[in-house]
């Protein structure tokens, strides 16, 4: 013990800054090694992307540099979008070398594959540090004045454990949660491929954001403060995970909550969304009402229209009654089903969609029909990833899912995810 204390007293600022997987303290003849236990998480690495300016300043100080070097790192990461530490030409070579030797990296991944649809939608398949594949989608919209609004639809998990019956992502299996920087880098990748700024971000890609709330919130902070995308231009989607909507509301974000409802009653919802059994409709509606009261931000209800399943006029009437029962501040976003392989669900005819919309509007419900984008680009969420990764990564048991359950702009065409 005395020997260990002797070594600890001599730890340099460089060593304090290096959070490596193994801590090695050595002297002339003795080496003491403390190794972290193996986990199912991605390899721990010291990643700059996702860090705030204050954190980067402290990092510089820990390495014996002036704090302004941290500001330079922030500029290189978020303004110039430099991908490699050795390309940080504004900072001394010695500092760059020390960062790399201590295991630090920028934290940007490569694009494994991309598909471009005729309407300009681009889906990217990003290869992560541990060779997992994750999707992100860029959706451009040009208004009447010629201005381009670019929405990034980002993933929060590699796969998804909730296995909604109409979703391609769940069919591809679940591997792990994404780290905050792995979410942020999706937005940067979209900006690069379009050579344009992302104006809107929707957490509606692969995975359930509320099962990875800590990292989603970290990414949200970075996108807002560092990448400088307004909170009101971001939407966080969920199919409903007990206790998490309350947690999200406590942060008082000025972002939209989008609840994937897909059915006007509990029985039908359980058939479409198996995880709904753990979160009764009455409880989820109460949490959505409380979210509105807590944040003053309206809740958007996503409703995927499945032909002959939930698109009947009676379903529309029942949906309107449900929303009126729980008060104002709601908006319904109708999403015509995006066809995927391996499912019997079909896309409703336009007439059926129009009748459903009209029935809601006649009952004073604010409603929009999402324009479908990217149908020719493996557009349904998870499809492109499944093409490259045929074997499911991990099929989670119900115990795994239950364990996870414990702990101003409208989204644009996010069914392209």
Which residues are part of the catalytic machinery? 135, 381
Q: Measure the CA–CA gap between 306 and 113, rounded to whole angstroms.
A: 30
Neighbour count for residue 10 (Cβ, 10 Å): 9
- Tokens coding 278: 């753990």
Contact 413, 204 (CB under 8 A): no
Q: Residue with structure tokens 């949490």?
A: 287
Nearest to 309 by CA among 283, 270, 340, 277: 270
Looking from the CA of 157 toward its CB, the CA atoms found within 13 Å total: 27
Q: Measure the CA–CA gap between 165 and 162, rounded to whole angstroms.
A: 9
Nearest to 213 by CA among 407, 45, 416: 407
Q: Measure the CA–CA gap between 19 and 10, rounded to whole angstroms.
A: 17
Q: Measure the CA–CA gap between 139 and 150, rounded to whole angstroms.
A: 6
| 3 state DSSP class of 314 | helix
Q: Residue with structure tokens 């992560």?
A: 128
Q: Measure the CA–CA gap between 347 and 338, rounded to whole angstroms.
A: 7
Contact 184, 223 (CB under 8 A): yes
Strands 330-336 and 299-305: parallel
Q: To 5 degrees, how large is the angle CA 205–CA 148–CA 369?
A: 55
Query: In the chain, helix, strand, coil percent, each to 5?
Result: 40, 20, 40
Q: Measure the CA–CA gap between 395 and 90, rounded to whole angstroms.
A: 47
Direct distance between the N- and C-terminal alpha carbons of the chain, in angstroms, rounded to an integer: 55
Which letter, b or e, does each residue of 119-135 get, where b requires 16 or more Cβ atoms within 10 Å of its Cβ?
Answer: bbbbbbbbebeeebbbb
- Tokens coding 317: 């009437």
Neighbour count for residue 41 (Cβ, 10 Å): 10
């Amino acid at each position: 013990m005395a020997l260990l204390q002797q070594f600890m007293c001599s730890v340099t600022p460089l060593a304090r800054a290096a959070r490596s997987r193994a801590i090695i303290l050595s002297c002339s003849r003795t080496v003491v090694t403390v190794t972290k236990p193996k986990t199912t998480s991605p390899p721990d690495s010291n990643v700059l992307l996702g860090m705030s300016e204050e954190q980067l300043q402290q990092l510089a100080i820990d390495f014996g540099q002036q704090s302004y070097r941290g500001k330079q790192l922030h500029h290189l990461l978020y303004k110039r979008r430099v991908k490699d530490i050795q390309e940080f030409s504004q900072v001394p070579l010695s500092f760059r070398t020390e960062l790399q030797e201590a295991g630090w990296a920028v934290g940007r991944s490569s694009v494994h594959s991309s598909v471009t649809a005729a309407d300009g939608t681009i889906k990217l398949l990003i290869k992560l540090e541990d060779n997992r594949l994750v999707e992100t989608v860029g959706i451009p919209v040009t208004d009447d004045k010629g201005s381009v609004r670019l929405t990034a639809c980002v993933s929060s998990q590699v796969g998804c454990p909730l296995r909604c019956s109409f979703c391609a992502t769940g069919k591809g299996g679940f591997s792990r949660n994404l780290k905050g920087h792995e979410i942020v880098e999706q937005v940067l990748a979209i900006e690069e491929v379009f050579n344009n700024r992302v104006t809107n971000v929707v957490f509606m890609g692969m995975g359930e954001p509320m099962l990875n709330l800590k990292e989603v919130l970290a990414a949200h902070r970075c996108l807002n403060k560092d990448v400088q995308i307004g909170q009101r231009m971001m939407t966080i989607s969920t199919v409903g995970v007990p206790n998490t909507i309350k947690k999200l509301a406590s942060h008082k974000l000025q972002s939209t909550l989008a609840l994937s409802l897909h059915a006007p009653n509990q029985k039908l919802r359980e058939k479409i969304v198996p995880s709904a059994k753990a979160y009764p409709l009455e409880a989820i509606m109460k949490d959505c009402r409380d979210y509105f009261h807590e944040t003053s931000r309206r809740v958007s209800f996503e409703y995927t229209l499945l032909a002959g399943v939930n698109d009947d006029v009676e379903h529309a009437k029942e949906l309107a009654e449900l929303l009126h029962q729980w008060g104002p501040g709601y908006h319904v976003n109708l999403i015509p089903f995006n066809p995927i392989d391996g499912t019997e669900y079909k896309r409703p005819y336009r007439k059926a969609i129009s009748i459903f919309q009209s029935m809601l509007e006649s009952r004073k419900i604010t409603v929009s029909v999402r324009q479908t984008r990217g149908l020719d680009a493996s557009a349904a969420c998870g499809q492109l990833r499944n093409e490259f990764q045929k074997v499911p990564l991990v099929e989670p048991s119900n115990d795994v899912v239950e364990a996870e359950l414990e702990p101003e702009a409208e989204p644009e065409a996010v069914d392209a995810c």
